[in-house]
Amino acid sequence: MDEKQLADVTQRIFGDSGVKVKYTSRQGRHIWTDRDIAAGETVLVSQPYTLIVGEDHLTKVCHACFTVAEPGDKFISCTDCDYAWYCSQDCKKTHRETIHGRECGYLKQLKKKELEIDRGFGRAKMRHLLRLLLQRDAESKWPTDYVPTGPTFPDVAALVSHDAGSSAKEYTQIVTFVKDVLPKEIAPDSVESLVELLVRTDCNQFGLWSANDDLLGVTVHPAASFFNHSCLPNCYCEWRGVNLVFKTLYPVPADNELVISYISGNEPTKKRKKELKRVYHFDCVCSRCVKPEGGSPTYAYDAFFYRFLQCPKCTGILKIDRKKKIAGAEPDEQAEQPPNTENRSCMMCSRRRYNTDIVPSLPAYLKTFNDSELQYVPQKGETVPRKVLPVVDPDDPTPEEKARKKGRKQRRKQKQDRKNNNSAAAKKRSSGSDQDTLSSQVEKMSVS
């Protein structure tokens, strides 16, 4: 992207907020801040380009607003294709006028297609590609003076892609089926170019998850895809309706990149790098994986992560919690927040706690860390006491592994206790039987 395109994208997405989209050959397009940003500040509200409900949840999720059905709720279906379901007549009407009216007839035809290979979400990918092409066709008919307020197809086409790899055959069949049902003027593209488009959206999509960790569907947010990955993120995202809201985890000084984590950071370096390579097809070079040139060692960044961001209960990340309620307090209690602390809650288990101190910016922490006489490089298999330096050796077992080990130990103990109890009971029964036999013999002798 040239400077003009970057300026146009920045203005459309961030306005004059002091946050912008930059490009380098090493980082690609990424998000940069020219100003200091406070902890918990919203830096982006991203609108979706497409929203696709998964096959297993077609009747349980509103295709217009993504409301999840509660027990007893009766959703309304599209009587023409029986593919789209809605929480209300208003959602049904709005969705048909904006999107579903164009795709309904084609969905009925795609319903008859059977995929030979389906690695998961295959039929949803057919519906996704169909919608992408139909929206591109609709945008081509916009008046020349029309100014869009949300993401457009060129935003999607500009996303980073990768090779289809082992999924090439599945993608090719999906593309072939969609081209079969669409007129040539809507899908004049070659099979290869549409496979690339499908792969492009797949590696940039976000999952929509239920409270029970069920994958309800997927969505493509072009603006959100500008966020690069780091195993030490300074931002996180959360859903607000169908929009993705990005906020800072801790203070970020000016002239820094804004990054999120694509995976759980609570894994050893090798595991994190392996998962990122397998799923996202890149080698991570963040400050926790590779020592920055002229910077602090990787364990210094690990120290920051485990001290300030890692939930003490699970593998989730602690975010700023604006609710002024102390963990464990009764709802009616008017609890005052202790000085020099901030309330944080886990994004996974929602456990609230007060930090002993306010999370500093990363540069401020690294300066303290580098100046401290308490620096200590952990040896393999050795854990540094939290009071000395909150570093967890990357080769140490993860909390999940520790929990599994603890569970196995408890089960072994329970099994041994049951065995001991059974042995004691059997011995008691045996002693009782011997006593009965002896008593019987004594009785017979007495009678004689």
Distance (Å, rounded) from C-alpha 208 to C-alpha 243? 11
HSE at residue 142, side-chain half, CA atoms within 13 A, is: 14
- Block residue for tokens 């789209």: 84
Tens-binned pLDDT, residue by residue, of the chain (448 aa)? 678 888 888 888 888 899 999 998 888 889 999 999 999 999 999 999 999 998 889 999 999 988 899 888 989 999 898 889 999 999 999 999 999 999 999 999 988 888 887 655 788 899 999 999 999 999 999 998 888 888 999 999 888 877 777 778 888 999 999 999 999 999 999 999 999 999 889 888 888 887 777 888 889 999 998 999 999 999 999 888 889 999 999 999 999 999 999 988 888 889 999 999 888 888 999 999 998 877 788 888 988 998 888 887 788 888 888 765 544 444 444 456 667 778 888 888 766 666 657 889 999 888 887 765 445 455 554 443 333 333 333 444 555 566 777 778 888 888 888 888 888 777 776 666 555 554 555 454 554 4
Size of the chain, expressed as the number of residues it contains: 448
Amino acid at 179: K
Distance (Å, rounded) from C-alpha 166 to C-alpha 121? 15
The pairing of beta strand 318-320 with beta strand 228-229: unpaired
Predicted pLDDT at 371? 65
Q: Are 318 and 344 in contact (CB under 8 A)?
A: yes
Predicted pLDDT at 296? 82
Nearest to 383 by CA among 391, 375, 374: 391
Question: Residues with Cβ < 8 Å from 50, sequence gap 6 or more?
Answer: 128, 131, 132, 135, 201, 219, 220
Predicted pLDDT at 333? 42
Residue 224, number of CB atoms within 10 A of its CB: 25
Predicted pLDDT at 351? 64
- pTM score, two decimals? 0.74
Amino acid at 236: Y
Predicted pLDDT at 394? 40
Which one-letter DSSP state was computed for residue 221? -
Distance (Å, rounded) from C-alpha 53 to C-alpha 219? 9
Q: Strand (E) positions, 8-64?
A: 19-24, 28-33, 42-46, 50-53
Strand partners, 220: 50, 205
Question: Residues with Cβ < 8 Å from 256, sequence gap 6 or more?
Answer: 32, 33, 234
Q: Are 383 and 393 in contact (CB under 8 A)?
A: yes
Strand partners, 350: none
| Chain CA centroid to CA 40, Å | 18
Which value, to the nearest 10 degrees, does the dihedral of the CA atoms of residues 267, 42, 282, 207 take? 80
Predicted pLDDT at 337? 62
- Block residue for tokens 């009587």: 79
Amino acid at 209: W
Distance (Å, rounded) from C-alpha 350 to C-alpha 335? 19
Q: Are 324 and 308 in contact (CB under 8 A)?
A: no
Cβ-in-10-Å burial (0-12, 13-18, 19+) of 107 comes to buried
In this structure, what token pair is assigned to residue 69?
Answer: 């059905």
- Block residue for tokens 């609890």: 335
Predicted pLDDT at 434? 55
HSE at residue 90, side-chain half, CA atoms within 13 A, is: 1
Give the burial string for 328-365 (b: 16+ CB within 10 Å, else e). Answer: eeeeeeeeeeeeeebbbbbbeeeebbeeeeebbbbeeb
Which one-letter DSSP state was computed for residue 263? S
Sheet (strand 256-260) strand order = 19-24, 28-33, 256-260, 228-229
Q: Are 115 and 174 in contact (CB under 8 A)?
A: yes
Distance (Å, rounded) from C-alpha 142 to C-alpha 152? 11
Predicted pLDDT at 150? 85
Which one-letter DSSP state was computed for residue 337? P
Residue 113, number of CB atoms within 10 A of its CB: 15
